[in-house]
Structure formats: structure tokens, C-alpha cells
Structure 1
Amino acid sequence: MEIFGLVFIGILFVLKQSTADHCGSWHGSDHGDHQRYPKDCTDIKDKGVCKSGVYAIQPSTYPEPFYVYCDMDTDGGGWTVFQKRLDGSVGFFRGWSEYREGFGNVNSEFWIGNEKLFYLTAQGSYEMRVDVADFDGETRFARYDYFRIGDEANLYKLLLGGYSGTAGDSLSGHNGQAFSTKDSDNDTADSNCAVAYSGAWWYTACHSSNLNGLYLGGEHASYANGMNWYEWRGHHYSLKTSEMKIRRL
């Protein structure tokens, strides 16, 4: 299932499918010929659904529904995942339009799309969580008590609240910064950080995190162009997995 180009007849099936017997089931709400979709994974959790997986949602002012991966297991569940990396099967060194619309597959590696993320976070107050793992089996997390991005006219600017967690804070330094890609340089450096570090991010001049960088499989000699989270494994270690997810408060 791609996160774009969906056949929406199939969405009704996803919404109406049952979860495990001990969980609730999401049946949606019918109003004549109109199906009311949940606006995020928090909505789905609030209906009693507790099985992680792919569901269809539609933010309140977004023009059409789309598939997302809902994490119902981590820290109480209800998380809408907007970035996932796990094996390097999807390339993340892409341009502005691809990051705007989204790419990949919600069952594996993907970026949900900045436009969708804007509409999601415009619905209310959201927290954000980053889960990362290295190749030694160690895991860490970073949690931010507020997360929102601006619209495209404001270059999907990052707005971030306070940090807690075990990974170290490698994102607060990017707070207030516009999103940059290899073909849209909005950072504060003289050079193009997205090109220099093979990613797409809310670069300043340039980064303390680069989770959309190259999948380099652990330690690497090159500087800061991997899937880096500086406060945990530094600029010469490319992580094994990452998930970025939001939950409505």
C-alpha cells in the first residue's frame, strides 16, 4: 500500500476491519453516503482500538483520506507515525515535491509528506516522539511536549516544545527552522546543508540530527551525512532504525 495513489474504496475495508478479540473495533460512522474518517491515530485509539497497523485517516480540513501507520503499543499508543526507517530499502535523499507529498510504503520505510503533516498538526496540540535503535540492539527515545509544522508558504517551519527522554536532545536546536531539501535551500548556512549531508531536514547551519540522511549501517568515516542523532551516537554513526510519531493531547 503506497501512501499516495490510493484506491479509496479499499479505505472503508481498512476502517471496518476488526482488531484482536481483546481490543475494540473501528467501524467508522456513516452519514448517508459519507463516511466519517478518524482524523488521526489518537481518534482510533479513543474508539478502543489497540492493535498497531495501517489505518485510513482524514485530518479535519484535508481534502481526502490517506493511509497511516498507527503505533498502538508504545507508551499508551495512539501515535500517528510520520517517518520510519528500518533497513535502507527506500532512499530519502529527495527533493521538495517528494517531501511535500510523501513517499515510501507505510508498511516499511516512508515519509508521510509535509503537507499531510501540516494538516495533522494544525488540528490541535500534539506531542512528538522519536524512537531510535543502533546495531548493537540498544534503543533510545526523545519526546517533545509540543510539535507542529507550518504550511508550505512558511516552508514547513518546525515548532517544538520541551524535551524529555533517553536519547539526548538533538532536535531543539532546529526549533523555528524551515525545512530544506537538496533543491530548496532554506537553512542558515552559506552552503546547502541538505546537499552537504545527503538528507532533508529542518537544517540550521547545519545539524545535530539528520534522520533522513543516508542509511550507512553503523559507524562511518564520512562526517554527519548518515542517519545521525548526535547526542546519542554522534556524527559518525548511522542508526539502524528510527520512527518519528505524533499524538494529539
Structure 2
Amino acid sequence: MALGKGPVAGACCAAIVLLAAAPACSTKVRRFDDGAGGGVVVSAASAGAGGAGGGGGGRPCDPGGLDACYSGPPGTLSRGACRSGLRTCDDEGNGHGPCAGEVVPAPDRCDTAEDEDCDGAVNEGCTYARCGDVPAGLPSDVYLLDLDGDGPEPEFPVYCDLETDGGGWALLYNSVGSEEGTTLQFWSIPHAERLGTRGEPAIGQNFYRGSLYFVGREYRDDIEDLEGTVKEVMRATAEGINSATMKLLRPTHVTGDANIYFAHFLSGWSSQDYDGDTDPEGNCAKQYQNVAQHYAKCWEYNLGADADEPLDDGGWGPHLGTHITDRIGLASDETRYTRVRRISRWTRW
């Protein structure tokens, strides 16, 4: 790494002219170049006209002067954790001592929110047993979970909400309204795929990962209306799930709307080819456009269908009964079963 001199920063002394002009005096500003075009002003040293070589009298450096130093790869300085250090010129001006205080790239750690290898990606390749293990300070985003380090899918991506009520929430399902009409078909999940995964984990996309019911212990449902207001509508707990019937084990209502808890958590699960709901009149999924989800009396909210005709509603997707919107303060589209922008279920353990 080469050290160079920057432009004159300003006068360092005042020349008093009596009979002849005093020698020119300027401040030489040293800059450090990290090889990527980033010059950093670090120190200034006074030099007379004869000191233009970097140190007075042609010395390599100015005695006692400080210069920036950095031994990391080009392009990593001031990125992530990487920082330059300082080196001190010796008393004779013959050279510099060691670079003190520099931070160069190191392997990324998984227990910090820092980019230790200075590549612009934080915790790249890190896996966690749950969203609650993601280090504090990182944003809500997609992270790799490895629940037990074994099995056919030891690592998988999950969107983690790291902000709500202390964070640690994994996105279990997410139904997002779409003018393109793609959401309705997404939720036509056959019984054989009830514990599978659909879509990519993202707060703005349709997503389903039924296998998280195995590990989930706390649950919450959020609904976002057409105006962008988000409300938490239900909290519950469970101790796992019966993988055949999809009934949650020992479910308990904690807070929020009791009707949503009863209809879409405490209840059974139905799909187009499996009638596990508790409605005595038939299969709720078949009645509502083959949308698979937990049902009791078939309706408080639906991940893919309307309850007003036409039930497909152009394929929009998530709908909520307006008796719920009125009660919890969400906007409606002035129909009995309003479109909403998003219905999300989160879990943590």
C-alpha cells in the first residue's frame, strides 16, 4: 500500500517580511489509499520548503508523525468491521512502527450482528436453531434455521420477525392479496402436502411451511388491511400438532379475537381431499374454493377465498369478515367479507 501526499491544506505559519521574505511554509496532509479509490485524511505535519519528500531534510517520514495504515485486501477498508489503524514515525524520521488498531477481515461469527469478513453480507452461511437465536441488532429478514442438524432438510430459510414483542417469530404462513389473481390457487394444498413448503419466505409473498407446527409453541396472527394498517388479531399456544389430522395439541387461547382462535386455531384442518374441520355441514375447504386451512364454522377469515359471490373474487386471496374489521379497527371494502392485503401466522419456540 502506498502512502501519498494530498493537496496543501492551508497556511501553517505567517511569514513576517522585514528585509527579505521568509521561506515558504505549508502543511503537508498525508492520505491513505486503500486501493479502491478511498483516500482518508489522517495526519498533517509541518514542513519547510526543504521537506517536500515526506520528512524534513528528505527523511522518509516526519518524526513522531502519525499515518494511516491498513493491510487488508483492497475494497474492504471501512466496510463492515474493517478499520484502518495508525503507525508512528520514529524519532529519527527513518521509518514507521507497527500498524496499531487496524481491523482486517476475519471469518464471520454467527453470534454478533457485525460483518467480520467485510464482504457486505452479515452472518453469511450462519444457521440458527430458532429465530430467537439470531443476534440482537440484525433486521427482520430471511435466515437459515437448522432445527436439529439432522434429517433430509437440515437447513431451510425462514423469514424471522426480530422486532415484535422481543422478536424470535418465524413466518409459518403468509397470504398476500394479488390483483393478478394468483393467491387463490396457491392455497389449494392437498392433504399429502399439509406439512410441506410452498413459496419463498418473504413478508410480501405467499408462503406456507406446515412443518413449523411441529416445533411451534407460541402463535400469533396478523392481518393488514387495504390501507396498510396491521393488527395482531390472535395469540395462542400449543404443544405440537397431530401430523395426520393437523389438529394442534393442547391449544390455548392467550389474547385477541376469540372467534378467530376458535375458527382457525382450535379447530380441525381441511383440504379438498380431507375433511378434518368441525363444521357439521361438510368440508369447509371444498365449500370455499379448495382453500386448505384450519376451519371450524368455516369462516372468520380465509387465506384464499371470499364468502361473497363470486367466491373466487378474481383470485385475490385473503378475506376477513367485516364483523371482525369493525371490532378491531381495520378498514373494509364495504362488502360483508372484505379483501385484506395480508394474513400472516407466526410462531416461536
Distance 1:187 1:142, change over 3 A: same
Identify if the C-alpha distance between structure 1 residues 161 and 51 changes in structure 2 by more than 3 Å, giving closer, same or farther: same
1:154-233 alignment, distance < 5 Å = 155-159=245-249, 160-165=251-256, 168-174=257-263, 175-188=265-278, 189-198=280-289, 199-210=291-302, 212-214=303-305, 220-222=308-310, 227-230=318-321, 231-233=323-325
Output the CA distance in 2 between the equivalents of 1:86 and 1:223.
17
Q: Aligned residue pairs: how many?
A: 212
Q: Hey, what's the Cα distance between the residues in 2 that align with 1:221 and 1:43?
A: 46
Q: Which residue does the alignment assign to 1:4? A: none
Q: Which digits, 9 at most, give the CA deviation of each residue in 1:105-155, with x for residues without a partner? A: 1134244332x223322xxxx2211111111333321242413441323x1
Detail structure 1 runs of 4+ shifted over 6 Å in the superposition. none
Does residue 95 (structure 1) correspond to residue 190 (structure 2)? The answer is yes
Percent of pairs with identical residues: 22
CA contact (8 A) 1:177 1:204 kept: yes
Superposition deviation, residue 98 in structure 1: 3.2
Select which of 213, 227, 238 maps to 1:118.
Answer: 213
One-letter amino acid of the counterpart of residue 191, structure 1? G
The structure-2 alpha-carbon separation of the partners of 1:92 and 1:16, relative to structure 1 and needing over 3 Å to count, comes to same
3-state secondary structure, aligned to 1:213: coil
Structure 1 gap ranges (5+): 1-13, 30-36
Match of 1:8 in 2: none
Superposition CA RMSD, Å: 3.4
Equivalent position SS for 1:180:
strand
Distance 2:324 2:346 in 1: 19
Q: Which residue of 2 aligns with 1:80?
A: 170
Residue aligned with 1:157, SS: coil
C-alpha spacing 1:144/1:15, structure 2 compared with 1 (3 Å): farther
The amino acid of 1:171's aligned partner reads I
Quote the residue 1:106 is aligned against: 201
Distance change >3 Å, CA 229–CA 15, structure 1 → 2: farther
Q: 1:127 aligns with which of 196, 218, 229?
A: 218
- Partners of 1:85 and 1:15 in 2: how far apart? 34
CA separation of 1:127 and 1:17: change in aligned 2, threshold 3 A: closer
Residue 9 of structure 1 aligns with which residue?
none
Q: TM-score, normalised by structure 1?
A: 0.70
Conservation of the 8 A alpha-carbon contact between 1:15 and 1:56: no
* Structure 1 position 60 matched with structure 2 position 148: yes
State the one-letter code of the partner of 2:285.
Answer: A
TM-score, normalised via structure 2 length: 0.52
